């Protein structure tokens, strides 16, 4: 998926791919391989699923037929069976998700809340205005 095209179409495709990876075992496999084998973060893996989903969507629209979910051997299955297969075979472990997360987490205090970024009081920079003609203000 590229940056080209209408944002609403890209957003809809992203959400569709994110849902489809949980139901369709073939797309779940694509997501799993991107996360575990290639080491891509969640967003990039979902964009790869969207790329794999586009030809399927076009084929369904062109042939005017229903979207059929297939297992890895190519046999048609139900949504419930698809979810079960994805959950059993293509579950991405939490440690992989944590390792691939590019978001820096704030340190927690004793109550489990994030620590404030800025500390009030004596450690904050103080602004002092001097009366001398050459200096307007200085930071201590």
Q: Tell me if 105 is assigned to some domain.
A: no
Length of the chain: 140
Domain that residue 86 falls in: 7-100
Domain assignment of residue 76, yes or no:
yes
Q: How many domains does the chain have?
A: 1
| 92 located within any domain | yes
Helix (H, G, I), strand (E, B), or coil: what is residue 56?
helix
Higher pLDDT: 125 or 100? It is 100
Residue 61 lies in a domain: yes
Contact between 25 and 82 (Cβ < 8 Å) = yes
pLDDT recorded at residue 4? 84
The answer to whether position 107 is within a domain reads no
pLDDT digit string (tens) for 11-61?
A: 999 999 999 999 999 999 999 999 999 988 899 999 999 999 999 999 999
Distance of CA 94 to the CA centre of its chain: 14
**What is the per-residue pLDDT for 95?**
83
pLDDT at 123 over 60: no
* 129 is a domain residue: no
pLDDT of residue 2: 73
74 inside domain? yes
Is 139's pLDDT higher than 80?
Answer: no
Q: Is residue 72 part of a domain?
A: yes
Q: Residue 96 has what pLDDT? A: 82
- CB-based contacts of 56, cutoff 8 Å, min separation 6: 67
What is the tens place of the pLDDT at every residue in 85-120? 999 999 988 888 888 776 666 666 666 666 665 555
- pTM to 2 decimals? 0.68
CA neighbor of 49 nearest in space, from 84, 6, 20: 20
Res 59: pLDDT: 95
What is the three-state SS of 23-35? HCHHHHHHHHHHH
């Amino acid at each position: 998926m590229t940056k080209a095209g209408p944002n609403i179409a890209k957003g809809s495709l992203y959400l569709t791919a994110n849902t489809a990876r949980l139901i369709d075992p073939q797309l779940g496999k694509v997501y799993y391989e991107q996360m575990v084998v290639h080491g891509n973060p969640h967003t990039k893996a979902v964009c790869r699923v969207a790329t794999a989903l586009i030809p399927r969507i076009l084929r369904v629209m062109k042939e005017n037929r229903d979207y059929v979910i297939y297992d890895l051997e190519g046999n048609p299955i139900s949504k419930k069976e698809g979810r079960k297969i994805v959950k059993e075979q293509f579950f991405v472990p939490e440690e992989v998700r944590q390792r691939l997360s590019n978001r820096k987490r704030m340190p927690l205090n004793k109550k489990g809340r994030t620590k404030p970024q800025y500390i009030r009081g004596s450690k904050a920079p103080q602004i002092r205005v001097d009366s001398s003609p050459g200096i307007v203000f200085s930071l201590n």
